[in-house]
A and B are shown apart, each in its own frame.
Chain A
Amino acid sequence: MSDRSDVIFVYDGSFDGIMCCIFYCYYEKTMPSDIRPSDEEQLMLGAYIDIITDCEKAERVRSAIKTKLGEDFLKIVQRLSLSFEEDRELLILKFVILGFKYGRRVLSRLADNTVNRVMKVESYVAKEAHLSLEFLRFSDYGGVLVAVIEPKNTVLPLIADHFADRLRPERFMIFDKNHKMAVIHEPGRTEIIYIDSLDLPRASEEERKFRALWRSFYNIIGIKERYNPRCRMNHCPKRYWGNMTEFNDDEDNYSDKPSLSEGVLLSDDVISSADMLSESSISSESSTEV
C-alpha cells in the first residue's frame, strides 16, 4: 500500500461512507493522511479524494470484517463511528488494517498504540451513553414524555433500546440537540429521526408538581456535614446540569439556561469517601484502584 500521506479522503459522514473509505484504501492502495466528512469546511492543504458511498461496497467491507474479525470487532467499529473525536475515521481505518493483519487476536494487543486508543475512544463513547441513561430527564407533556440531551458523542443509537424496553407502554421522544436527531417511541415501535429543533409548550401544573417534589427530595437527601461538591462534580459533570430537573427552576426555558452552579466553590476539605458508595464508581477503576 502506498502511503501518500498528503491525500485526504472526503466522505458523506455516514457509517457506510467510512466502510467505502476502507474499500478505497485497499483497492486503490492509498493510505490517506486524514478522512473528513464532506459537511466540514476543508481548510487543509493537500489533495482531496471524494469517496462516493456505495452500499454494495460498504456491505462487502462490513461482511469481511464480520466473518474474518467477528461480531465484537464490528461492534467496536460501530461505536467508534459514534465518537466525536476528530480522528475517528482514520482510527477506524488503522484499526481495521491492524485487524486484517493480526486477525481476531488483535483485540488482545492492548499495549499497541492504535488498539489502546481504540479502547479508550470506545470506552469514552460507552461512558457517555451510560451517563445519558443516568442524567436524562423526561417531562410529561399531555401524556408524551420528552427529554432533551446535549451529548458530545452520538449516543442515541446506544440508549434507544434501554428506554424503549423500560417505558414500553409509554410514548416518548429523546431529542439530541447537538446532533439534531431524536428517538421516538410508541408501544411496539421505536425509530430514530432527524429534526432541527424542538419547541416545547409550557409545563402543566401536574408536571410542575412532580418537578418540585423531585427538587425538594434532591435538596434534602444530601447530608450537610458531608458536603462535597468536588465529588459531586466528578460523578455528575456540570455540562449535564442544564438539562437536569434538579438543577433548574421552572421559570427557565428547560435547556437553554446556564447551569445554576457557576459560583459553587471547590472544596478539598472532604476526602471523598462518598466515591465508594456510588454505583458508577464501583464500576470505574479510578476511585477504587486500591
Chain B
Amino acid sequence: MELIEKLEILGDSAKYDAACTSSGVDRRGRNDGGIGNSYACGICHSFAADGRCISLLKVLMTNSCIYNCKYCINRTDNDIPRARFTPEELADITINFYRRNYIEGLFLSSAVIRNPDYTCEQMIECLALLRNKYRFNGYIHAKAIPGADSELISRLGMYADRISVNIELPSQQSLERLAPDKSRSSIFLPMGHITAKIQQNSTEIVKYRHADKFAPAGQSTQMIIGATEDTDYQIIRLSEALYNKYSLKRVFFSAYVPVGDSRVLPDENTPPPLLREHRLYQADWLLRFYGYRADELLDEKHQSFDPLLDPKCNWAVNHPELFPVEINKAPYETLLRVPGIGVKSANRICTARREAKLRFEDLKKLGVVVKRAQYFITCMGRQQQGLIITEAAVMRQLMSASTVRKLDGMQSMEQLSFFDEKSAAPTLEDYRKCLTGQM
C-alpha cells in the first residue's frame, strides 16, 4: 500500500479525537544535532475545513482493532479499509513534517492490534525512534492503551509530553452497553497510574536522555457527547472530579458524529450536537479559569445547559441578588462573574483602576463586552445611562450573535414572547429545538 493511502486511512480514523493541542511544556532546542523545541502556550499550524486547529500530526499506528466498541469507527465489525504504519514510516513523516513547520509534533494513538501490550510496544518503538535516533525534541502526545501493562504505559510516558486515556462514555451503564470489551477500571486504572507517575516524577528526577520527565505536559481525556443519555450535569460533574482527583490538564468533549453501530446509537442523519459541545466547553472554562463549581452551573433539577444562553449568563440572570457590582471596587473574583468580563478584561480593570477611576466609556477600551456587562455593573455608583431593562432586551444582549441571527431568521424579536409558555406563537421550546437541530 502507498504511504499516502496509509496516511489517509490512519488520519481519517484518528480525526474524531478532539485533542490536538501542543500545550503545557516549555522546552528550548538542544545542541545534540536534533531538532525541536516546545512552547507552553502551544502553536496551531493550520485549521481544517471544520475550523478545528491542526497542531499535531494526529494518526493511529493502526486502525485494525480486535475490539468492538459500538461508537467507534474502527470497531471489528465495521467494514472499512485497514492500514498500519511501521514505526520507521511514521517517524520519518513526523520529522519531515516538523522540519517544514507543518506541525508541532505527533499525536499517536492506536486501535488494539493483537493485544493491548503489543499495541503499546509498537507505539513505544516509534516514539523511541523519534527521540533516540532522530533526537526529536518537539511535542509528543501519546494515547495510553487501556488494558496495557502499567510498565509499558510508564515507558510510553517517558517519551511523551502528554499522555491521555479517553473515558469516551461518562457512565458505567453507557460503557457496559457500548464498549463491552472495556471496563471502567481499565480506563481509570491507567489514569490513576499516570497521575501517580506524574506526581512521583516531581519529587524524584528520573534521568532519561530525551525527556527528563514523565509526561511533563500532564494528562488529558475525552468524552463523547450525544451518543448516550448521559446529561450535561453528569458530564461536568465528572470533569470537575477529574480535574480535582486526577489533576488532569484538560478534558475534551467530542460531539458524536454518527460513525458507530446505528442499531444502538443515533443514526447517520443525526447531526453532531455542536451547540451542546460548545456549552460544555464554556462550562469547562468556567470551572478551570473562573472559579465556578459544577453544582453552581447545573444541579439535579437542571441537568442540561440552556441552548439560548451561555452557562455564565445563565448563572448571572439566576442570581439577581448579587448584582450590580461596582467596577471600581469589586474584587477580581467578583468581576470574573460578570457576563461580558473575561479573565483578560478583569485583569485590565484591576490594573487600570489603580491609576484612575473607571467610567463606562473606558470599559470598551479594556476589552469588556459592554452590551452584556451593562446590566450587571455600576461605575462610580451609577448604572449605564438610559439603560432599558426588559426581559426581551436583556436576553437579546446576552445571547450570542449567532443565536440572535437564528432567532431573527425565524421571527422578529418583537413578536417573540419569551417567557409566555402559553403563547400561540412558536414557543421557547420550538426555538430550542430549532437551535439544537431537532427541528
Contact = CB atoms under 8 A, between A and B. Distances in A.
A169 to B, nearest CB: 5
Give the one of B47, B93, B97, B343 with max A CB within 10 A.
B47
Interface stretch (A5-13, A63-71, A85-93, A105-113): A105-113
A168 to B, nearest CB: 5
A55 B59 CA distance: 55
A230 B352 contact: no
Contacts of B402: 268, 271-272
Interface string B56-100: 011100000000000000000000000000000000010011011
Given A230-B51, A235-B51, A216 B272 contact: no
B355 A109 contact: yes
A192 interface: no
Contact of A220 (B12, B33, B365): B12
Interface stretch (B14-22, B124-132, B178-186, B236-244): B14-22
Nearest to A109: B355
Interface string A238-255: 000000111000000000
B29 A221 contact: no
B358 to A, nearest CB: 6
Interface residues of A, number: 71
Contacts of A273: 255, 274-275, 277-278, 281
B48 A277 contact: no
A222 interface: yes
Interface in B315-361: 339-345, 348, 351-352, 354-356, 358
Interface string A253-290: 00000000000000010111111111110110100111
A232 B47 contact: yes
Contacts of B33: 169
Interface in A170-222: 170, 210, 212-214, 216-222
Interface in B233-280: 252, 255, 257-258, 271-272, 274-275, 277-278
Interface stretch (B35-43, B159-167, B188-196): B35-43
A27 to B, nearest CB: 29
A165 interface: yes
Given A110-B365, A220-B8, A290-B285, A285 B344 contact: yes
Give the one of A137, A163, A270, A274 with max B CB within 10 A.
A274
Interface in A122-141: 130, 133-140
Contacts of B310: 290
A226 interface: yes
Nearest to B354: A108
Give the one of B8, B30, B101, B258 with max A CB within 10 A.
B101
A145 B99 contact: yes
B19 to A, nearest CB: 8
**For the complex, would chain A's binding face be called helix, strand, loop or mixed by DSSP majority?**
helix
Contact of A214 (B53, B97, B367): B97
Contacts of A139: 100
B11 A221 contact: yes
A256 B75 CA distance: 46
A289 B352 CA distance: 19
A110 B257 CA distance: 45
Contacts of B36: 166
A44 interface: no
B101 A235 contact: no
B366 interface: yes
Contacts of B344: 285
A218 B54 CA distance: 8
Contact of A111 (B12, B97, B312, B362): B362
B369 interface: yes
A45 interface: no
B44 A279 contact: yes
A170 to B, nearest CB: 7
Contacts of B223: none
A111 B358 contact: yes
A96 interface: no
A38 interface: no
A246 B46 contact: yes
B199 interface: no
A216 B99 contact: no
B439 interface: no
B31 interface: yes
A217 B31 contact: no
B100 A214 contact: yes
B51 A232 contact: yes
A145 B100 contact: yes
Given A147-B101, A225-B272, A277-B20, A268 B405 contact: yes
Give the one of B42, B46, B99 with max A CB within 10 A.
B46
Contacts of A268: 402, 405
B50 A222 contact: yes
Given A145-B100, A222-B49, A110 B29 contact: no
B286 interface: yes
23 contacts: A111-B365, A112-B356, A116-B365, A135-B45, A140-B99, A140-B100, A166-B138, A167-B99, A210-B97, A222-B15, A225-B257, A226-B51, A228-B51, A232-B49, A244-B46, A246-B46, A273-B275, A273-B281, A274-B50, A285-B367, A288-B282, A289-B367, A290-B290
Interface of B: 3-4, 7-8, 11-12, 15-16, 18, 20-23, 28-31, 33-37, 41-55, 57-59, 93, 96-97, 99-102, 138, 252, 255, 257-258, 271-272, 274-275, 277-278, 281-282, 285-286, 290, 310-313, 339-345, 348, 351-352, 354-356, 358, 362, 365-367, 369, 400, 402, 405
- 4 shortest A-B CB distances, which residue pairs? A231-B51, A273-B278, A278-B53, A222-B48
Given A224-B50, A278-B51, 8 more contacts: A109-B352, A110-B365, A135-B45, A169-B34, A223-B50, A225-B271, A245-B102, A272-B402
Interface of A: 105, 108-113, 116, 130, 133-140, 145, 147, 163, 165-170, 210, 212-214, 216-232, 234-236, 244-246, 268, 270-280, 282-283, 285, 288-290
